[in-house]
Every structure is written in C-alpha cells, then in structure tokens.
A = this chain, B = another copy of it.
C-alpha cells in the first residue's frame, strides 16, 4: 500500500548479525523515535538500559535461556517499565503517592511496549534487524540485580539490534478475520483450524518434512508448564504488588 506498511509487513526476527556496529547518532535517533510513541497521561513510564559490558551481555544471554545473539548483536537493550521516575517526580511536587497498583503496572508495561515497537520500526527502516527477548523474564531477579534496577522498575523484555546476517522467512499470522470482530466478540474455531493447517504446511516445508506440528500444538508447552510462575512474586518484591 505504501513503503511504511510494506516495511511493517516485512518484519521477522533476526538472530544472526554481522560485526557491523550501529553508528551512535543513528542509535540515538532510534531511541528518540521510540520516545515519540503515545504515552498514557504523558507518564513516559520506561527506561532503557543499553548493555555494553561484554560480561553483562554474556550473563544475560545465559540467564535468558542461552540466547547467544544477545552477545553478538551490535546493541542490546533492556526495556524496563519504570514507575519510579514518575511517582518520585509527583512526590517531589507534593503528591501523596500510592504505589503498587495493578493499573500502574499495566500502564508502565504498555508504555514500554509502545515505545519499544517504535524503536523497532525505526531500526528496521534503516536496515537493522531485531529480536525481542522475552527470555529475560526467565530470571528477572538476577537480571534486575545485574543492572541495579531499583524498586518500581522491572525488565519487560530485551531487544537485540544489529545488521542482519540471515534472511529468514516471514512467519504467517492468524487470518485477519479471526482477530478482527465487529461490535462484539465472536469465536471462530474454524479459522483457527485453517491456520493450524497452514502452519503445519509452513513448518513442514521449512524443515524438509522434519517438523510435523501446528500452531495449537506449538502452544502446548507454553500453557502446560506454568511458564515463569515466579513473575507474581518477583514483581511484588520489586514494588509491583498488584493492589
């Protein structure tokens, strides 16, 4: 439809990067583009830790489930939801601040995601590849200590940025009709079944017939395993008590 929409539709995660480094001024422009995203009540409830130390990158790579590209990408960023800056600022300005509300956790997490997605689009527009790293929530306590995150700040996800050294396929998405509804919620398991067939074909073709699975089956370990069951307690300890 236009070059921006073409860019958005061309996204795929990149996990192999060349040695080329992102110029500093380009990098700063990506972050500024991130900051331009909408923010709930102007709260800007996020911080980015740019992890440059090779030792910290190696530690995070291991803590996030042995994701080596955290070490080999040009820039690795930790996107943190940050309710400390705005609540401290309001307190200095005389507010009697209540912290730890579920709504605050949600606002900070969503603010962080909107900002990160702008960084991602900006990065892809200059030819960079990206990979979100949700695996940082495998060991959020250790990572928070490593990056000296104070209370009311937590790592939502990491982001690898660098020049792509691979050209993977674009992964299919659910049919638009299954996620877009009119005026009320409508379940359509038939469309999910269609997508399962499409994904089985996709996995089979990419692996020469070696991967026989579909979307629903792939989700099995995600929901059977109580994935990251520590999150509730971790967040409460860091001041996100979900009041």
Interface residues of A (CB under 8 A from B): 1-5, 7-11, 13, 26, 28-33, 35-44, 46-53, 56, 80, 82, 84-99, 101-104, 106-107, 109-110, 113-114, 116-118, 120-122, 125-126, 130, 132, 134, 137, 147-150, 153, 156-157, 170-171, 173-174, 176, 178-185, 187, 189, 192, 196, 214-220, 222-224, 226-229, 231-232, 235, 242-243
| Cβ distance A80 to chain B, nearest Cβ, rounded Å | 8
Pair A192/B85 contact, Cβ less than 8 Å: yes
Minimum C-beta distance from A117 to chain B (A): 4
Cα(A179)–Cα(B39), bound, Å: 14
Contact indicator B219/A86 (Cβ below 8 Å):
yes
Q: Determine whether the beta carbon of A222 is less than 8 Å from that of B90.
A: yes
Are B184 and A90 in contact, with the CB atoms below 8 A?
A: no
Task: Count copies of this chain in the complex.
Answer: 2
Listed by A's residue number, 11 A-B pairs whose Cβ atoms lie within 8 Å are A5-B33, A38-B120, A46-B179, A48-B180, A48-B181, A49-B183, A91-B223, A98-B226, A117-B117, A118-B121, A147-B185
- Give the Cβ gap from A33 to chain B, nearest Cβ, in Å: 4
Of all chain B residues, the one with the shortest Cβ separation from A35 is B173
Q: When the two chains form their complex, are residues A49 and B181 in contact, meaning their CB atoms are under 8 A apart?
A: yes
Is B185 in contact with A47, judged by CB distance below 8 angstroms? yes
- A121 CA to B30 CA, complexed, in Å: 15
Q: Which residues of B contact A82 (CB under 8 A)?
A: 179
Residue from B38, B117, B227 in contact with A132 in the complex, judged by beta carbons closer than 8 Å: B38
Does B38 lie within 8 Å of A13, measured CB to CB? yes
Q: Give the top 10 A-B pairs by smallest Cβ distance, nearest first.
A: A4-B125, A113-B113, A93-B216, A117-B117, A89-B216, A90-B219, A103-B228, A8-B33, A148-B184, A95-B220
Q: Given the complex of chains A and B, what is the CA–CA distance between A226 and B80 in angstroms? A: 22
Task: Give CA–CA (A10, B1) in the complex, Å.
Answer: 20
